[in-house]
Amino acid sequence: MATWNILLDILVLLTAALVLGTLAETVKQSAILGYLVAGTLVGPNVIGLVKGGGHVAGIAEIGVALLLFSIGLEFSFTRLRRLGRVALLGGSMQVVVTMGAATAVGLLFGLSGRAALAIGAMIALSSTACVLRLLVDRTVMETIYGRHTLGILLLQDLAVIPLMLLVALLAGGDTFGAAAIGLGRTVLLGGLLVGAFILLFHVIVPRVLNLRNWARHREFPILLAIVMAFGSAYAAHTVNLSPAMGAFVAGVLLGGSPFATQIRADVGSLKTLLVTLFFASIGMLGHPAWIAAHWPTVVAVVALVTVGKMVIVAGVVRGLGYAPGTAIATGLCLAQVGEFSFVLAETARAAGTLIGDDLFNLIVSSTIATLFLTPFFVAMAPRVGAWIEARRGDPPQIAAGAAHDASAGPRIVIVGFGPAGQSVAEALYGRYRDAIDVIELNPPTAATARRMGLRVHIGDATSRDVLEHVGLARAAVLAITIPDPAATRSIVHMARLVAPDTSIVARARYHSRRWEIEFAGAHVVVDEESHVGLRVAAMTRRFLNESARADPPKEAS
């Protein structure tokens, strides 16, 4: 019976999230706002359709791990190193300065030193799940302020364990020695875990994916993708590290693999489901009645937190030598309290000596309010940053950094690298070699394209995620060379949705299927049967002409 109750809770949450997320998008707001409101409305503090939330929250946490796993697949170690300075220095400075400022404010309002420091630890963290989801949705992850935001968020995730140990120490649950031993143990086990990840995801998994029978059974790579994402999150959890950080590291290790595109598509639907549950479960913690009774305090705390964190982050980024526009845009993206503050707040309340119920409700309510504001801040970030650049006369940098390989000049995406696809690539190779991306589902065939020096993505081109990942919207031409007419039609249809301005040239194996491919949206369809007929006719005329020249007709006598 309990299983069906859990299923009913998930069904109610997802239905409410679907309705209110759609409504939010209809009025041109982020769907995340709808998900948060949905959780609040059906949660125990309003309508009460979902009484508990622990089991849902536990499931939903996996969604954050899948989100970070997918983002990690977009990176390689080379790209990750570009985050190093801002991530290490900027992230560390932001955590320390924010904790110090929040602690000082807490002391001014009469809190004990231990309680003020615990609250500082809660406020220091921003929302990895919310911010990264918004950056991905708005396709600004590769901008300069998007990379700074990601770097600081990753450092914050690494700071979670020390902050947990600090709050436990302040609550009287641990001695200083026990906390130090626990931190050292976590660091040691974390290092061993990363070593195991390197061996598994960088060496063993790519070889497994290259097995021929895996290419023939589509379900095997899908199952492996889920196992890798869940397994890396669980492994990190067992050594007291953030599951999301473990999943991110696994994703980065796989990010340089040609299989990364398809793995990302395989986990995409499950990630969407669980991330939606995550935001709805956060909304369930909201207590509208308590907020209504204490709204002046909540408004004051939210204003202080958002402005304070924005100024601190902007100051740190500016101090590292970046332009004011970039600094302010980064600060706006991180001007919220993260979901992990709920865990720290619950730890502090459970001790009974750090914070009481009212202070706990204030922290939870203020955190949810800052999460509500985050979509607006992230949307404002590039506009405010660009306005500051224009006022100061600085060179435009806000949209910089989103460059992709071979972005200058036309780009070509070839689907399928059998004989037809290879012929297309060979014809374009001399002039457009660096502009060609190949999508191929069969690893041995994909290896042929790699030997030619082309960029290869092992994946199913009927998947929207795959087409978006290869940057089809920036391509001048999509050339579909696979023989399967049904798959070709699906690819054409999806390509028209993803990249309406990209020209599509498609192959039709049979004349009878040409029209349905054209109807799906292909601009040019190369009909094999007609093409072969024309070629045969041309060669026939050639032989007839040669025969006529060799044996001219005799004149009548």
Residues 388 and 279 reside in one and the same domain = yes
Residues 437 and 481 reside in one and the same domain = yes
Residues 484 and 448 reside in one and the same domain = yes
- Residue predicted with more confidence, 386 or 557: 386
Provide mean pLDDT across the span 84-95: 85
Residues 245 and 386 reside in one and the same domain = yes
Residues 65 and 206 reside in one and the same domain = yes
- Which CATH number belongs to the domain containing residue 378 in this structure? 1.20.1530.20
In a domain, 110, yes or no: yes
Residues 32 and 119 reside in one and the same domain = yes
Boundaries of domain holding 27:
2-392
Residues 540 and 435 reside in one and the same domain = yes
Measuring CA to CA, which residue among 489, 523, 483 is closest to residue 505? 523
Query: Is the pLDDT assigned to residue 175 strictly greater than 50?
Result: yes
Q: What is the pTM of this model?
A: 0.74
Measuring CA to CA, which residue among 261, 71, 52, 243 is closest to residue 151? 71
Residues 364 and 431 reside in one and the same domain = no
d(CA 475, CA 407): 9
Contact 239, 186 (CB under 8 A): yes
SS3 call for 456: strand
- Residue predicted with more confidence, 163 or 305: 305
The pLDDT of residue 116 is: 92
pLDDT band for position 240 (cuts 50, 70, 90): confident
Query: Is the pLDDT assigned to residue 229 strictly greater than 50?
Result: yes
Share of the chain above pLDDT 90, in %: 29
Pairing of the two strands 477-480 and 436-440: unpaired
- Residue predicted with more confidence, 31 or 331: 331
Question: How does DSSP assign 63-91, residue by residue?
Answer: HHHHHHHHHHHT--HHHHHTTHHIIIIIH
Provide mean pLDDT across the span 499-506: 92
Domain boundary among 360, 392, 424: 392
Query: Is the pLDDT assigned to residue 152 strictly greater than 80?
Result: yes
The pLDDT of residue 161 is: 74
- Residue predicted with more confidence, 271 or 117: 117
In a domain, 406, yes or no: no
The pLDDT of residue 542 is: 82
In a domain, 147, yes or no: yes
Provide mean pLDDT across the span 63-82: 74
Domain boundary among 392, 421, 441: 392
Provide mean pLDDT across the span 3-15: 86
Contact 129, 70 (CB under 8 A): no
Domain total in the chain: 2
Contact 79, 284 (CB under 8 A): no
Going 125 to 130 to 135 to 136, the CA torsion angle's sign is: positive
Residues 385 and 417 reside in one and the same domain = no
- Residue predicted with more confidence, 502 or 177: 502
The pLDDT of residue 405 is: 43
Output the six-digit token pair for 279.
Answer: 């935001």
Burial 406-419 (b: 16+ CB within 10 A, else e): beeeebbbbbbbee
Query: Is the pLDDT assigned to residue 403 strictly greater than 50?
Result: no
Residue-wise pLDDT tens digits, 420-458: 999 999 999 888 888 999 999 888 888 899 899 898 888
In a domain, 404, yes or no: no
User: For residue 505, what are the CA distances in angstroms to 9, 273, 280, 477?
Assistant: 47, 35, 43, 7
Provide mean pLDDT across the span 66-80: 74
pLDDT band for position 77 (cuts 50, 70, 90): low
The pLDDT of residue 554 is: 57
Query: Is the pLDDT assigned to residue 532 strictly greater than 60?
Result: yes
101-115, 301-315, 515-529: range with highest mean pLDDT: 301-315
Q: What Rg, from alpha-carbon coordinates, does the chain have?
A: 28
In a domain, 488, yes or no: yes
In a domain, 442, yes or no: yes
Query: Is the pLDDT assigned to residue 330 strictly greater than 60?
Result: yes
The pLDDT of residue 93 is: 93
Q: What angle do CA 280, 151, 58 make, to 5 degrees?
A: 25
Query: Is the pLDDT assigned to residue 462 strictly greater than 70?
Result: yes
In a domain, 556, yes or no: no
- Which CATH number belongs to the domain containing residue 475 in this structure? 3.40.50.720
In a domain, 420, yes or no: yes
Domain boundary among 364, 392, 420: 392
Residues 353 and 435 reside in one and the same domain = no
Assign residue 404 a region: left if phi > 0, alpha if psi is -120 to 50, beta otherwise?
beta
Residues 207 and 277 reside in one and the same domain = yes
The pLDDT of residue 463 is: 87
pLDDT band for position 213 (cuts 50, 70, 90): low
Provide mean pLDDT across the span 44-62: 76
Residue-wise pLDDT tens digits, 257-315: 777 777 888 887 888 888 888 888 888 888 899 999 999 999 999 999 999 999 999 99
**Which residues 6+ apart lie within 8 Å of 4 measured at CB?**
none
Least trusted range by pLDDT, from 139-143, 313-317, 508-512, 552-556? 552-556
Query: Is the pLDDT assigned to residue 48 strictly greater than 80?
Result: yes
Mean pLDDT of all residues in the chain? 84
Residues 370 and 465 reside in one and the same domain = no
Query: Is the pLDDT assigned to residue 91 strictly greater than 60?
Result: yes
